[in-house]
């Protein structure tokens, strides 16, 4: 099973979409193994977006991420990184596929509701940025019997 990192961004929190977004991952059959609400510090946001340091939009990314509370999640399941990315949709909501989270809830790229890791390597790094190992819970999900072949 793969794990990936998801952040429900401040705009989604402020607009009351937390439950609807989490429900989509649960409906898909993903197991949530880490979940918390926090207001990121500048240091945390900069570390999260470190691959964008030096780009003209870096400061806007950081400022947006620290503008309010976020929900940090670790979800687990087969092909979690790629499936979550498809569920999230294009960074530009107007280019996102119908039915994706960004298509359904976002209107502009700068306030695009959600972040999902784009690779297994970045998922590991981002999980480590937001969670200590003891904050992740390994548990058996009986639904796996009905989702995956053995």
- Catalytic one of 94, 115, 140, 141: 115
52 catalytic per annotation: no
Contacts with 70 (C-beta within 8 Å, 6 or more apart), sequence order: 7, 8, 9, 10, 13, 37, 38, 39, 40
Cα separation, 71 vs 13, in Å, equals: 8
Contacts with 149 (C-beta within 8 Å, 6 or more apart), sequence order: none
Active-site residues: which are they? 115
């Amino acid at each position: 099973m793969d794990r990936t990192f998801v952040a429900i961004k401040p705009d989604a929190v402020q607009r009351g979409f937390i439950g609807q977004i989490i429900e989509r991952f649960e409906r898909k059959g993903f197991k949530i193994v880490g979940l918390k609400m926090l207001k990121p510090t500048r240091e945390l946001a900069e570390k999260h977006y470190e691959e964008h340091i030096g780009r003209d939009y870096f400061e806007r990314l950081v400022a947006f991420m620290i503008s309010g509370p976020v929900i940090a999640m670790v979800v687990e399941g087969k092909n979690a990184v790629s499936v979550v990315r498809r569920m999230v949709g294009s960074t530009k909501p107007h280019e996102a596929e119908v039915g994706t989270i960004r298509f359904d809830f976002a209107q502009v790229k700068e306030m695009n509701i959600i972040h999902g890791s784009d690779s297994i390597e970045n998922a590991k790094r981002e999980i480590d940025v937001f969670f200590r190992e003891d904050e992740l819970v390994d548990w058996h999900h009986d639904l796996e019997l009905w989702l995956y072949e053995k």
